[in-house]
Amino acid sequence: MRARSFDIQNGVADTEMKEAQKLLERVKNELTKHWDENTKLSVLIRDHLTKFVSKLMDLRDALNEAVNNTRTANDLSNINEIGLEKQKQKVKDLQNEYQKVQDSLKMAEDALLQVSDLLQMIDNLKDEFEKLAANLDGARGRLLEKVSTFSPAISKIPLVEQAEEHAKLLDQLAQNLSSIIRDTNQNGFIQRAINASNAYASIIEAVKNAEKAANEAGVAADSALKNATSANLRSISERMKNKSIELEESASQAHRNLNNNLKPVLNKTKENLKEAKKKHGQLLQDLRNAQSKLSIERGNISETIQKAKDTASKANTTATRLQDRLNDMRKNLEKWNGTYGDISSEDLNSALEEAKKSAGTLATTIPVLLDKLTSLENKKNQSMNLSENILRVRQLISQARNAASKVKVSMKFNGHSGVQVRLPTRPQDLSAYTALKLYIRAPEVSRENQQAASGYFILYLGNKDASGDYIGIIMKEQKLKWVYKLGEEEPATLDIDAEIGTEFATIRVERILQYGQMSVTVQKSDRQLETKGTVIAKGQLGLLNVDPQKMIFYVGGYPSEFSPPGELDLPGYEGCIETDTLNEEVISLYNFEKVFDVDNDRDRPCARPKSSGDPWSSDASYFDGSGYAEIGLTANFAVTNRFEQEVRIVSYNGIIFFIENEGKFVCLAVKDGKLVLYYDTGNGLQIVSNITSTASPTSQEIGGAVTKLIQVILQYQSNKFKIYIRMDRKAVYSVNIDGDGPKADKYYLGGIRTDKFPNSLKEIFPTGGSIRGCMRVIKALDKYIDLKRENTTGVSYGCSSELLISRFVRFTGDGYIKLEPESLPGLQDNFHFGFGFRSAQNNGLMFQYKGDGTCDVSLKNGKISMKFQDEEIESSNTFSDDISHYATFYSNNGLVTFYVDDKLEKQTRVRSGAAQLSTPVDKGQVYLGGLPDASQDTSLVGCVSNVFLRRTGTSVPQVVMDLQQNVGNVNVSMSCPSEQQPQQMRALQKKSRRKMKSAPKLTIKGRRHHVEKSCRLPQYPKVVPGAFHFGQSPKSRFEYDSLPATFQNQFHFSMEVRLESPSGLLLYVSNDQESSFLALYVFNGYLVFLVHIQGEKLRTKSKEKYSDGRWHTVFFSRVNNKIQLLIDGLKIQSSTLPQVGYLKVQTPMYVGGVPAEKANKNIPSAALNSFKGCMKNLQLDGKLVEPPSRTYKVEPCFVGALEEGIFFSAEGGYHTLDNTVTIEQDFELLLEVRPRSQTGILFHAGAKKEQYLILYMDNGKVIVKVNRGAGEYAVAVTPNESMCNGLWHKIAVIKRHNVIQLDVDTERNHTVGPSQTYPIVSKEMVYVGGVPDKLDIVPWSSPQTYVGCIRKVVINQMPVNFSSMGSSHGTVRLNGCPVM
């Protein structure tokens, strides 16, 4: 094989190898070519993909911008919709005014047409009378012809002469008739009708005379015949006889012609005249009516035209003023455009609108404040006026501060300026919990200061000398740093790595005890980025211990004499800051105590854009629980009227909606966390709590800051009134009422104005009924309501989630609240919890925890007792002092420690059995204030706040518990009244605690054994200086025996009145016959000024009602022949006499009322009695009137309204009831009291030492003592609430044989006395409120008069009417009880 030659094969192989190499080269070339092409193609595809990605990013930006534009468009659409509604309303108002003018013109045209028709009718009657006169004239001619035919009686000259005389008379009558006809054509219609009637009577008389003449002619002929016969003149007589017969026949023919021809004509004339007379009477009446109507219409037309002219003139003036204002605004806008060109118009308008609203409130409040201060300085020597003026000044200052707190505008600082912000109302609440929200923009630093500034001071909250605990925020390198110091440990710090830019960033800091968290939200292009951080201070002391009297709050900078502690010692901020909330209170930099080098003209505030996220933050209104919103209604009520609003309610009790008119009202409220309907349509208060059949059992529940849509629908039908209440568009209540409901021009949200608060609701909501929560999208009668344009108190704009948490809960001794916190450690594994409390009760459960074990914290005999597993630990000091305290508890590995007000109370190690191994708890149970099955003796009366339990896990924040997020509650209120006196945050000194501890214990039954030393209400009620109250008696009055000499010609009266009744007399003076007088009285709420001078009566009346319980200034005067009535310096009414006369009156002048039988014929009966109300500053001709000559039943005027009841003053007094009670028999007494003193006699029966029953108070205890003849026995109760807390308390005394029972509010006690076999039965005298000095059966050496109010007294089931039963002695007011 070796020798064999392979050349041929080798050659073939080489050839094949070459071909293979060629093929390989070819393949390589092809692959390289395709590779290059693919590479180029991939690069091209990559470029296309890059372009597509870029376009997609652009598309995403465009979509985000479209979303923002859509949101902005929606906001603008809502604004435009509201604006459109307003414009539509304006157009509708203009159309209504135009329609009124058109109606007036139409009425005028109708009146003119009626007058034209009347004139046409008169012309027709004139034509008829002319025709009638022509007929009479024709009848006259025929009558003359008949007379001339009848006249040839030649032989009887006297008869002929007499006939001629009658003819002349007829001629004269005809002439008279012609004259009458001419007068009819010339004079008025009434005179022509009268003349025509007289003409008819004259014609009838003439016809009668003619008949009489004819009869006399016949008699004369007969006489002549007899004479001729007696004279034997036969031939003559025959001839004369023939002539007489002819004459007689002629006379008879004339008579027949008269009867046949003239009488029908005259009868027809008579009928025509009767018809004319009838028409005359009808036309006369129509003419008078038309004249009266024409006069009225003419007055209305003139008044309407004059109003139209005035309106046009005002419109022109307004247009001119607006044009000038717009020119000024245009100039300012051009100036601002140069200064703030980078600010959007929308942001600027929003900020300016809010600033304008708040500045307007300040502008109206501060001038009044300055005026009151000036008045106070001028009256500093008048001690009675001083207290009232100081109170009013404080109220005005509070209003001004509240208004300043609502100013949501930033403040720009320049590095040297700063603000000392006013602290919240409860600065001690900052001790355990602090939550602050503010907005900040990046500093605007000049180039020369840019390198020098290492950081900026933002705020400081702590002691004014910079010692002790504090909270502060600074900025370094555009990043925020939060610092807070608690106790003696080093300050805790937290840095947030979020760069603040030119847009406002939102800063939130929250601290509960040692645990703090901070978040910074910044705007990045189209989205918001939130950065959070947490920090824990070292040690076990968690309270911010700062004396409220020394606490200060600096923002932006600080004064030169202040040196900030530690890291806060930096230069002042250069830029814009805006504060929002501090512990659920709205705060503003413009509600300051001091400012340092702040110049808003030089350093213009920055506009903060309106939030585009949560709509509640941008367009809702926050009610802080101290006020209300009063909303005016411009539209008229229809058949169906709808009111709706979205709400988030925090309060468990309060008023949501209220509408009232003339005593009728509808009120929708929240009571114990449920929706309740109250109404009164004239039949007393009605409460609706039964839901409709279609509603679910939970449909009434409202609260927890959950959004709810509430609709109130009122339907007015014929004699029917219907109320529908819907929540989230589901029916809750439906009520049908016979009668009519309230139709008012305003309604209230979130509370009620004090003077509008019905007494029936005051008992249900004794603290005023204001709620805490938010409302938005408010509509009334199908129109949107903007609360910024309405009258509001305690309302701010914008509702963030920070405002809607609830940290306080109040218990009344029969309730509890249950919570279920999650992620808790075991009881032995660093278990940490704390809570604040305040109670005057010695015993009661405050806190109970159930998890892997149990832990109870209670008050026992005033001390804090902690029951941990089976161990019980008790504090060494007592804390039932009605002062706020904070308790903190730690448990770890068997070591239990607890602090009160950061003072160590106990530290002990529990037994090994109790210190068992513990495990984490996913969900625990916490009860506050009591337990579901607990008795009243173990439940708390007081407040619990700022509850904290440490959670496990890094993702779970350590925050205060929101008590609204409970899983069950009974008889609680999510609020706690402030302490009477501000207290320091630190605990009481041990010396005072030891003193408290050594106080002797009381043994009388009752949970609360602590009695307040002072009363909330003063012994002397507050009175209005210089004011007097009338109306205690129907004839209460002042009488004055002197008037100035010029009183007959002129007088000028002025007074200030507060009317409490719609009718009554204020002032009256007259002569003895009361034919000349002047009077001022109120009738149906209107003030009426009446003057009667020499038979002329002048009367002028106010156009509005003033019986509203407010003070009004009334001026009324007479100068010569003109009288005027001017009210509050604005509304003037006047009247004028036709001529000047003297007002002749005599003294006395009566003010406030008149004696019996006086002014009966001059004054309406409803206004004859004395007016009910107050009067002050009565002046005549610019001078205060002298003291009255006589006074009848006039009292001082108390501040505030009066309630039902009888008032016993500190001057002493009592009321007697004769022979009312038999002590030996069974006896029941019910009454309600509101004391102003801790000690005093309430009720006393009997006048003998061995037989009496007395009910009295002694240092806050209520005691009943009875002696039936067999010895004295007594029972006493110390109530839960102090009897002197300013509230009404119910007392019941029940005696059965020898057993006496006493009930005071919810407390009860009884005792058994000695029995008596044969008691002596006799009726005894009863004394209420005190006893006479001579009666010595009292518990003190001298009788103690009760000071305060008593009402609803019922003896043996018979109500007592003090006004008609018994008699009063001393200073006792029977018809009203002051509330202040």
Q: What is the pLDDT of residues 225-277, one digit of tens each?
A: 455 444 444 555 456 556 556 655 655 565 565 556 555 655 655 565 566 55
State residue 385's pLDDT score.
43
- Give the residue from 1216, 1293, 1310 showing the smallest Cα distance to 1256: 1293
Backbone angles phi, psi at 125, to 5 degrees: -65, -35
User: What pLDDT does residue 447 have?
Assistant: 53
φ and ψ at residue 233, rounded to 5 degrees:
-100, 70
- Mean pLDDT is lowest, of 97-111, 301-315, 930-944, 1170-1184, for 301-315
Please tell me the predicted confidence (pLDDT) of residue 996.
Answer: 35
pLDDT (average), residues 649-674: 90
**pLDDT for res 1365:** 78
Q: ∠503-507-509 over CA atoms, to 5°? A: 175
Q: Which H or E element spans position 156?
A: none
Nearest to 884 by CA among 840, 919, 851: 840
User: Quick one: pLDDT at residue 269?
Assistant: 55
pLDDT value at residue 987: 33
- The C-alpha atoms of residue 876 and residue 874 are separated, in whole angstroms, by 7
Distant-in-sequence, close-in-space partners of 528: CB < 8 Å, separation ≥ 6: 521, 522, 613
User: In this structure, what token pair is assigned to residue 228?
Assistant: 């001729």
Cα distance between residue 820 and residue 1297, in whole Å: 53
Q: Taking the CB of residue 1359, how many other CB atoms lie within 10 A of it? A: 10
Q: In DSSP terms, which residues pair with 1175 in a beta bridge?
A: 1028, 1057
For residue 139, the surrounding DSSP H or E stretch is helix 7-150
Beta pairing class for 1272-1277 and 1261-1267: antiparallel
Report which residue type is found at 273.
L
Of 643, 645, 651, whose CA–CA distance to 626 is shortest?
651
- Quote the mean pLDDT of the chain: 77
- The pLDDT of residue 712 is 93
Other Cβ atoms less than 10 A from the Cβ of 971: the count is 17
Query: Looking at residue 389, what is its pLDDT?
Result: 52
Average of pLDDT values for 997-1026? 53
The percentage of the chain sitting over the pLDDT mark of 90, rounded to a whole number, equals 16
Give the angle 1162-1163-1168 at the CA atoms, nearest 5°.
135
d(C-alpha 761, C-alpha 771), whole Å: 15
**Average pLDDT score over residue span 412-423:** 89
Whether residue 184 has pLDDT greater than 50: no
Sign of CA dihedral 956, 960, 964, 969: positive
Question: How far apart (Å, rounded) are the C-alpha atoms in residues 545 and 463?
Answer: 9
Write out the two tokens for 463.
């002691």
Residue 746 pairs in a beta bridge with 632
Q: Which pLDDT value is given to residue 144?
A: 61
| Better pLDDT: 253 or 617 | 617
Helix H or strand E encompassing 848:
strand 844-850
pLDDT, average across residues 1240-1263: 84
Q: Which residue has the tokens 């107050």?
A: 1174
Return the pLDDT at 790.
87
- Tokens for 140? 């006259």
Residue 631 pLDDT more than 70? yes
Q: Greater confidence, 601 or 1071?
A: 1071
- Which tokens hold the place of 806? 């609830």
Burial class (CB in 10 A: 0-12, 13-18, 19+), 931: middle
Q: 570: which 2 tokens? A: 């930096």
Write the DSSP assignment of 29-46 as a string of letters.
Answer: HHHHHHHHHHHHHHHHHH
316-320, 672-676, 858-862: least confidently modelled range: 316-320
Lowest mean pLDDT among 362-366, 1130-1134, 1281-1285: 362-366
Kindly report, residue by residue over 1176-1216, the tens digit of the pLDDT: 999 998 888 888 888 887 888 887 767 888 888 887 788 88
pLDDT at 478 over 70: yes
Q: Does the structure show a pLDDT above 60 at 183? A: no
pLDDT, tens digit (0-9, with 9 covering 90-100), for 47-75: 888 888 888 888 888 888 888 888 788 87
pLDDT band at 917 (very low <50, low <70, confident <90, very high): low
Give Cα 1303 distance to the centre of its chain.
Answer: 37
Q: Are strands 574-582 and 411-414 parallel, antiparallel or unpaired?
A: antiparallel
Is residue 1037 within 8 A of residue 1153, CB to CB? The reply is yes
For the chain, report the end-to-end CA distance as a whole number of angstroms: 139
Question: The dihedral of CA 825, 827, 832, 833: what is its sign?
Answer: positive
1207 burial (CB, 10 Å; 0-12 / 13-18 / 19+) is: buried
> Of 460, 371, 358, 352, nearest to 401 (Cα)?
358
Please, is 803 exposed, middle or buried when counting C-beta atoms within 10 Å of its C-beta (0-12, 13-18, 19+)? buried
Whole-number Cα distances in Å, 662 to 1102, 1158, 1204, 1368: 19, 31, 19, 34
Classify burial at 94, counting beta carbons within 10 Å of its beta carbon; exposed 0-12, middle 13-18, buried 19 or more. exposed
pLDDT average, residue stretch 306-328: 54
Averaging pLDDT over each range in 697-701, 982-986, 1246-1250, which range is the top one?
697-701
Annotate 1113-1140 with b (16+ C-beta within 10 A) or e (fewer): ebbbbbeeeebbbbbeeeeebebebeee
Closest CA to 893 of 844, 839, 826, 836: 826
Token pair belonging to 555: 């923002």
The alpha carbon of residue 1305 and the mean position of all alpha carbons in its chain are separated, in whole angstroms, by 31
Using DSSP, state whether 210 is helix, strand or coil: helix
- pLDDT at residue 156, as a whole number: 52
Give mean pLDDT, residues 1254-1269: 86
Q: By the 8 A CB rule, do 1370 and 1333 touch? A: no
pLDDT at position 981 is 39
Eight-class DSSP state of 1196: E
Q: What is the mean pLDDT of residues 1165-1180?
A: 88
Provide CB contacts within 8 A for 973, sequence distance 6+. 651, 652, 653, 809, 810
Label each residue of 998-1019 as H, E or C: CCCCCCCCCCCCCCCCCCCCCC
pLDDT of residue 999: 32
DSSP classification of residue 143:
H
pLDDT in tens, 1-33: 667 777 888 888 888 888 888 888 888 888 888
Tokens 């108070």 appear where?
A: 1257
Predicted structure pTM score = 0.49
Between residues 115 and 811, which one has the greater pLDDT? 811
Mean pLDDT of 148-167: 57
Distance CA 519, CA 818 (A): 30
Residue 1154 is given by DSSP the state -
Q: Is the pLDDT of residue 166 over 60?
A: yes
Q: How far apart are CA 1282 and CA 214, in angstroms?
A: 116
Contacts of 336 (CB under 8 A, 6+ apart): 348
Cross-strand bridge partners of residue 856:
848, 867
Report which listed range, 500-504, 678-682, 1096-1100, 1158-1162, is most confident: 678-682
The pLDDT value given to residue 289: 59
Please report which confidence band the pLDDT of residue 449 belongs to, taking 50, 70 and 90 as the band edges: low
HSE of 1179, CA atoms in CB hemisphere, 13 A:
14
